[in-house]
Amino acid sequence: MKKIGVTWQSLLYILVGNLGLALAMDCFFTPNEIAAGGFGGVGIIVNSLLPQISVGTVIFVISVPVFIWSFFVQGLSYTLSALLSTAAFSALSDALSFLPCLTQNKMLAAICGGALYGVAGAVLVRGYVAGSGTDLLARLIVTKLRHLSLGTSLLICDIAVVAASVVAFGDIESGIYAGGAIVVCSYTMDKVIHGFNKAVVFQIITPDEKSSDKLAGIIMEKLDRGVTLIPAVGMYQRSARNMLMVAVSPKQIYEVKDLIHLYAPGSFVVMLHANEVMGEGFKGLDVTVPVKDISDDQRI
């Protein structure tokens, strides 16, 4: 079969990610008239005004002009990925529309739906799936209006959808709940994408070579963490110093402080909070394999 640049793994991510998006739409957003941005939000608005038109149909139809634009700007491979994702989202949204509303409390629906939407969106990002809906539209707008950032462009698209929902539903609270759902979605997606594998990085400038060797050894022995020695120069006195760098889990912070106090009490210490750490002792490095490094035999 001719290779088209989409892996079987990507197709799995497309299916799982869009299943989550569809569940969030059908079980939380649509029955509570929460148009939380995106083309899905447009679909909810149109469906509320014209019930005979399904949400999935609206999503796909309004995406067609964006696909055409994307083809000329981003190329076939990128557009194909977005097309497959949108088609899956549209089909699953309609296929699962029979599912019951899980809560009629709009605040709870906004929170739960936003969280589920965020997790599903993170799955799509993890699968290197091209953006669809307003995500794709925002990327295309940036190619023409280069003074806008991608985040600003996406925010403008979502605000427009939320504002339209307020007008369509005649209820400002619906817009507030939609805005809340977008915030929850963004927060959840950020947490899932960057992981809960947070760490603290210590940069320890020791007073002498003896204390740096002793401290590094005791950290490796007691905490089972790797330590990196970085030669440094104190610019005030132009003296050679050693700096130790070590990444530890948050629960090990006070252990490191105690060890520094015991074995290198004259140290200058900087403690940095890291959103994510990958490597031995933490999450594996394979989570960031670029698309270009995927072998040809994995592609369709």
**DSSP secondary structure, 14-60, as one string:** HHHHHHHHHHHIIIIIGGGT---SHHHHHHHHHHHH-TTS-HHHHHH
More confident residue, 102 or 134: 102
Tokens read off for 55: 């949400």
pTM greater than 0.95: no
Sorting pLDDT into bands at 50, 70 and 90, what band is 126?
confident
CA distances from 150 to 65, 136, 145, 156, 161 (A): 20, 10, 10, 10, 17
Q: Is the pLDDT of residue 5 over 60?
A: no
Q: Is the pLDDT of residue 148 over 80?
A: no
Residues 269-278: what's their mean pLDDT?
Answer: 84
Percent of the chain at pLDDT > 90 equals 43
* Residues forming beta bridges with residue 203, ordered by sequence position: 245, 270
Helices (H), the chain: 8-24, 38-49, 55-74, 76-95, 106-126, 133-144, 150-169, 172-194, 209-223, 253-263
The pLDDT value recorded for residue 1 is 38
Q: Is the pLDDT of residue 143 over 60?
A: yes
106 class by beta-carbon count within 10 Å (0-12 exposed, 13-18 middle, 19+ buried): buried
pLDDT tens digit string along 149-192? 666 777 888 889 999 999 988 889 989 999 999 999 888 887 78
For each of the domains in the chain, give its residue range(s) and CATH number, in order of start: 8-194 (no CATH), 199-274 (3.30.70.120)
The pLDDT value recorded for residue 32 is 92
CA distance 15 to 10: 9
